Amino acid sequence: MTKIAMKVPLVEMDGDEMTRIIWKMIKDILITPYVELKTEYYDLGLKTRDESDDQITIDSAEAIKKYGVGVKCATITPNADRIKEYNLKKMWKSPNGTIRAILDGTVFRAPITIDSIKPLIPTWKKPIIIARHAYGDVYKNVEYRVENSGKAELVYTSENGEETRTIIHNFKGKGIIQGIHNIDESIQSFAEACFTYALDKKVSLWFSTKDTISKTYDSVFKEIFWKTYERDFKEKFAEAGIDYYYTLIDDAVARVVRSEGGMLWACKNYDGDVMSDMVATAFGSLAMMTSVLVSSKGYYEYEAAHGTVQRHYYRHLKGEATSTNSMATIFAWTGALKKRGELDGLSDLVDFADKLEAASIKTIENGVMTKDLLQISMLSKKEAVGTEDFLKAIKIRLDEMM
């Protein structure tokens, strides 16, 4: 069999722990036997990030700007424990945060749905896609530990030197302060990305903030979304038979849980982080949640929504058997290959990615799955297999389709 050719390389960003193990297995078992894989490789494993003073993360994001499409493995975001574990020079920032800030995109997360796996919320009939704003707020914060009594102020100095001051708090003792920001341009492109994606997928768009409490900050989000809708999307939405709906974040949570799903839910950065884990879990497993960062300039970065599955990795290191679900990481690869195929006019590459997705879903529908899915699959005949055996089971079905 001749392998499927590629024209432009994918930006490949390797990562950490169990997902790094899975990464290589997916390539070896499910991709390189079929595709003449062209990638520009960046090792975002924690050790290499540390050695390069995190320059490698910046370089990989710049490469996505150059080539347009990237695929990323989960990576460790260092905390105090990791500094000791990896003997790090410093507590490097989240690679995802760094990449998101450089590409200034919107993250869309959608569950991989399987007929034989019913969501924990019985009313949910259709997937819920979460759009997470990928710039600013607490992910680009400045924090300060107040050690003694004193006055904290918010000071803005304009270009011509004029100062505007607002008192944050008069501290009577120890405390904490956090400064966050966002920019209209980024919120605007977030809004446009969400309306465009909703139209593309023919699903209604919900947007939520806390503008009753955050009367300036969150109100700007609400206003930009509303103006964008009124100006550019109202008619198109009506034609497509979909709606735009704004509500408060707490009301949105209640309504989403009672809904039948099938909407795109746009969230601010932090809300999206939290809610996407809630939605993923309720749909079955964090391991079934896919994620794509779409920038307004047309760059795409695909990844799994879950982390590096540390506990499984330590078991793997001890030589114990693991049953780690590779679905979201496989779908990161298929998403990236498909996009590359669309951009470069390679229909056989698109077709291959579709088949790999279908073979993966079919494997689970046939009752072969990893441990995390065993309890939630409704099939009467089912078995849990190990990490590598799951990929081999997919390969058998993929070979039948090819």
Binding site for Mg ion (CB under 5 A): 273
Q: Please, are residues 71 and 331 in contact by the beta-carbon 8 Å criterion?
A: no
* Binding positions for ligand NAP, 322-341, rule CB under 6 A: 324-325
Residue type, position 352, single letter: F
Rounded CA-CA distance 365/378 in Å is 10
Nearer to Mg ion, 218 or 273 (CB): 273
Q: Is 96 in the site for ligand NAP (CB under 6 A)?
A: yes
- Residue 188 near ligand NAP by CB under 6 A: no
Residues sharing a CB contact under 8 Å with residue 254, sequence separation 6 or more, in sequence order: none
Positions of E strands within 305-397: 368-369, 383-384
Choose between 91 and 254: whose C-beta lies nearer to ligand NAP: 91
Closer to ligand NAP at the Cβ: 93 or 210? 93
Q: Which is nearer to ligand NAP, 265 or 390 (CB)?
A: 390
Q: Which stretch binds ligand NAP (CB under 6 A): 27-35, 57-65, 70-78, 334-342?
A: 70-78
Q: Which of 310, 316, 358, 392 binds ligand NAP (CB under 6 A)?
A: 310
When binding is defined by CB under 6 A, the residue of 25, 26, 76, 198 that contacts ligand NAP is 76
Cβ neighbors of 345 (< 8 A, separation 6 or more) are: none
Residue 273 CB, nearest distance to Mg ion (Å)?
Answer: 4
H-assigned helices in 202-290: 217-228, 234-240, 249-258, 269-282
- Which member of 106, 290, 295, 308 binds ligand NAP (CB under 6 A)? 308
Q: From the centroid of its chain, how far is CA 363?
A: 24
Rounded least distance, CB 277 to Mg ion, Å: 5
Alpha carbon dihedral 245, 246, 248, 250, in 10-degree steps, equals: 30
Report residue 123 CA to chain centroid gap: 25
Q: Which one of the spans 146-154, 230-238, 309-317, 348-356 is the region binding ligand NAP (CB under 6 A)? A: 309-317
Which of 43, 273 has the CB closer to Mg ion? 273
Q: Which one of the spans 71-79, 110-118, 252-260, 267-275 is the region binding ligand NAP (CB under 6 A)?
A: 71-79
Interface residue with ligand NAP, options 9, 97, 307, 367 (CB under 6 A):
307
Instruction: For ligand NAP, give the closer residue by CB, 324 or 334.
Output: 324
* Rg of the chain (C-alpha set): 22
Shortest CA distance to 188 belongs to which of 80, 104, 245? 104
Minimum CB separation of residue 367 from ligand NAP in Å reads: 18
Residues of this chain, 371-400, that bind ligand NAP according to CB under 6 A: 372
Quickly list DSSP for 75-129.
-----HHHHHHHT-SS-PPPHHHHHHHHHTEEEEEEE---TTB--SSTT--B--E
31: part of which helix (H) or strand (E)? Answer: none
The one of ligand NAP, Mg ion, none whose footprint includes residue 273, by CB under 5 to 8 A per kind, is Mg ion
Instruction: Write out the residues near ligand NAP by the rule CB under 6 A.
Output: 74-77, 96, 286-287, 303, 306-311, 324-325, 372
